Amino acid sequence: MENLTIEGTPKTPTIQFSLEDGSLLIKGRSIPENSIEFYKPLIDKLEEYSNTPKPNTTVRIQLEYFNTSSSKCILDVFKKLEKINTGGSETVINWYYEEDDEDMLEAGEDYQAIINIPFKMVEMEE
């Protein structure tokens, strides 16, 4: 299995998924033209990873902004991670937000309420 790296653009986040250590980073803005198409390689890679996950899977979400269609795809990513978590890999999602960004904190809390994976809300200094 190969790592997945997608370089970020002004409209799409950077995605770095290291299969060697089970770490996933999603960072930047997520307002792609076609969210389903953009997130498909990551969802496919998570499906592949779920067959032989590492004992620990660490996820860092550092989004500045995401649109509605991205939020559905992010939920799909979390559902794959939920499967990995119940499949024997201890999974933790670190949700980063800037101290004055109530919307991003609430978005993380909304996902936390839906998904059965431990979330850590991490406040960042501006």
- Strand-strand pairing, 119-124 and 23-30: unpaired
pTM: 0.95
Question: For residue 53, what are its two tokens?
Answer: 């996950």
34 domain residue, yes or no: no
Q: What is the pLDDT of residue 125?
A: 80
List the domain range (segments joined by +) for residue 96. 56-126
Residue segments in the chain with a per-residue pLDDT below the cut of 50: none
Give the CA distances from residue 63 to residues 23, 50, 109, in Å, rounded to whole numbers and listed in that order: 16, 24, 14
Tell me the CATH number at 94.
3.30.160
33-69 per-position pLDDT tens digit:
999 999 999 999 999 999 999 999 999 999 999 999 9
Q: Judging by beta carbons within 10 Å of its beta carbon (0-12, 13-18, 19+), is residue 105 exposed, middle or buried?
A: middle
27 domain residue, yes or no: no
70 domain residue, yes or no: yes
Closest CA to 89 of 113, 58, 112: 58
23 domain residue, yes or no: no
